[in-house]
Amino acid sequence: MLAIVKDDYDAMSAEAASLVADRMQKKPNLVLGLATGSTPLGLYRELIRLHRDEGLDFSKVTTFNLDEYVGLPPNHEQSYRRFMGDNLFSQVNLDPRFVFLPNGMANDIEAHCDWYEQQIGAAGGIDLQVLGIGSNGHIAFNEPGSSLGSRTRVKTLTRETREDNARFFASPDEVPRYAITMGIGTIMEARELILLATGENKADAVRAASEGPLTAMVPASMLQMHRKAYVILDRAAASKLSGEYVHTYHAASLVRRPR
Ligand code: PGA
């Protein structure tokens, strides 16, 4: 696990975008894992800018999103498919045939989860997976207590997660109770991981994930077992890491830029 601490949200987003763009340039048919939530919005904005201004090409890229609410149709304002359409897909040249999200309206959800895993396998596995972190330490919708070897399946959302996400819905009761999510085992098979966190309300979760014991009660702590996991933080999200740790990586950048 390599922590990179940037001064603020924009610098964190730019760092993450440099890494994604670097991998896309090295492998035009990259298999890219995507996340929803407020945190990756800056990354997506920067990727859109790189596409528009510098010709970053998504035409051969395959994407797999981490999760989707159960019971929301794809065009629902708060569905993750809609979120991705609005915030990335409609503004870059991805081929819709190569864009995958779980379908929260699937009739046979278990069969659908198996199909999703098969599609990831058929694409050759995920090269680079983008992750956020919940204030409770979840990754995707793998809530505390999730099996560390889990695969794509339905999870019940915790009260904390539903409260965190209530800001997007008209009332807390409208937040779905269930979601389809890649498992921790699925995520850990990605060849590289980038976890992004911003703001003070993520500082405890970041500390527990990075420096605490490996435990299913903090699903993000599993990243400590990954060979190429980059944790890109702003100062506030890094504020509870031990001083030495932050000092070591403070000035680092993941991608060498031409001078
Ligand atoms: P956020 O969500 O980016 O909206 O904070 C992250 C998460 O819950 O994984």
Q: For residue 47, is pLDDT > 50?
A: yes
Looking only at the bridges linking them, the beta strands covering 178-181 and 67-69 are: antiparallel
Q: Ligand 1: does its nearest atom lie under 6 Å from the Cβ of 133?
A: yes
pLDDT for 259 equals 44
pLDDT for 74 equals 87
Task: Read off the pLDDT of residues 119-140 as tens digits, 9 standing for 90 and up.
Answer: 999 999 999 999 999 999 999 9
Distance CA 192, CA 229 (A): 6
Q: How far from chain centre, in Å, is Cα 136?
A: 15
Whole-model pTM: value is 0.94
Name residue, tokens 């763009």.
21
Nearest CA to 234 among 37, 57, 34, 9?
A: 9
pLDDT for 157 equals 94
What fold is seen in the domain 2-256? Answer: Rossmann fold (3.40.50)
Q: For residue 250, is pLDDT > 80?
A: no
Out of 67, 68, 164, 234, the active site residue is 67
pLDDT for 247 equals 47
The three-point CA angle 126-129-130 to 5° equals 160
pLDDT for 258 equals 47
pLDDT for 242 equals 87
Pick the atom of ligand 1 nearest to 138's CA: 9
Q: For residue 256, is pLDDT > 70?
A: no
pLDDT for 1 equals 86
The first and second tokens of residue 233, run together, are 């933080």
Task: Read off the pLDDT of residues 179-233 as tens digits, 9 standing for 90 and up.
Answer: 999 999 999 999 999 999 999 999 999 999 999 999 999 999 999 999 999 999 9
Share of the chain above pLDDT 90, in %: 88
Instruction: Write out the DSSP string of 109-150.
Output: HHHHHHHHHHHHHHTT--SEEEE---TTS-BTTB-TT--TT-
Nearest CA to 80 among 119, 49, 40, 47?
A: 40
78 φ/ψ angles, rounded to the nearest 5 degrees: -105, 5
For this structure, is 138 an active site residue? yes
pLDDT for 78 equals 94
Tell me which residue has its CA closest to atom 1 in ligand 1: 37
Instruction: Write out the DSSP string of 179-240.
Output: EEE--HHHHHTSSEEEEEE-SGGGHHHHHHHHHS---TTSGGGGGGG-TTEEEEEETTTTTT
The answer to whether 1 touches 223, Cβ cutoff 8 Å, is yes
pLDDT for 235 equals 94
Give the confidence band of 246 by pLDDT, cuts at 50, 70, 90.
Answer: low
pLDDT for 251 equals 46
Q: Give the residue with greater pLDDT, 259 vs 90.
A: 90
Please report, in angstroms and rounded to a whole number, the separation of the first and last CA atoms in the chain: 27
Task: Read off the pLDDT of residues 167-185 as tens digits, 9 standing for 90 and up.
Answer: 989 988 999 999 999 999 9
Out of 68, 138, 164, 165, the active site residue is 138
Q: For residue 80, is pLDDT > 90?
A: yes
Nearest CA to 218 among 202, 196, 234, 238?
A: 202
Average pLDDT of the chain to the nearest whole number = 93
Nearest CA to 235 among 193, 195, 194, 200?
A: 200
Expressed in angstroms and rounded, the spacing between residue 123 Cα and the centre of ligand 1 is 26
Nearest CA to 58 among 90, 100, 29?
A: 29
Name the residue of 38, 135, 182, 198 to mutate for ligand 1: max ligand atoms within 8 A of Cβ. 38
Distance CA 212, CA 209 (A): 6
